[in-house]
Structure 1
């Protein structure tokens, strides 16, 4: 949002509002028919098929979407819609998103290839890494947690195979 647009909004509203940046992940589909009387929406599925359904109660009480707007379902299940231009300016398709419970870093926690005596020391780190991926949102902090856990796992395995240097007289 440009400074001139912000200034105009502040003047129109008489309020100075904070600026926010969106980073939400949502499910969405373009609306092809909105019928507030029948309380139904028809959306275009990714397969190209049209699907008609009744959105959540109160959906049309807030406003009636236009054809081309997007039907949106947020992570908490809340249903809404967004004007086409606003939605397309703020979101992009997450086609490369890995399935829940996966992370590229998990490959470094594999332990099955290790000799059995080392697997016992590596497996707990694998299990904790999987728990982190399953229970925390994908972000920089989760990646840092996995990197530090990987470093700890490597140290634990090296501690198991460590040999004292031979002393020479």
Structure 2
């Protein structure tokens, strides 16, 4: 499996996570399937995570959680959680504003960041609700109002004596 992230995007994400980390690709929806079951089979209990989306509009976006994925149906408190998008090579970060609802562990979807951003929401689609549990973003800035996924990648981040997971979603028109 090959990553769709550019080396510049990988460096920006790794820098945000503390620098000396390595990304290990765990899941790629175009190979494993655009289903919550496929995502959870490969990603549950693998550590903290970042979820990223790509679309045909050229947007790369997602979210980070330090909590490992599961299927409990419960919200997880995560003060370190954030959403992000790339503007050119620059990483724009939207921190959680209500950490008690930062991440929800839902079995029938992909990465679920509060009610603000849900990746692989019932297939190759995204749910976006700006300002709900995260610093407000505009849909145009985050994903160009394009909610159709072309890819979802999930990475485990290794290093700094911690493990993290990064999920990457790719959108194309």
Rg: which structure is higher?
1
TM-score range, shorter chain: under 0.3
Higher normalized strand content (fraction of residues) = 2
TM-score by length of 1: 0.22
TM-score by length of 2: 0.22
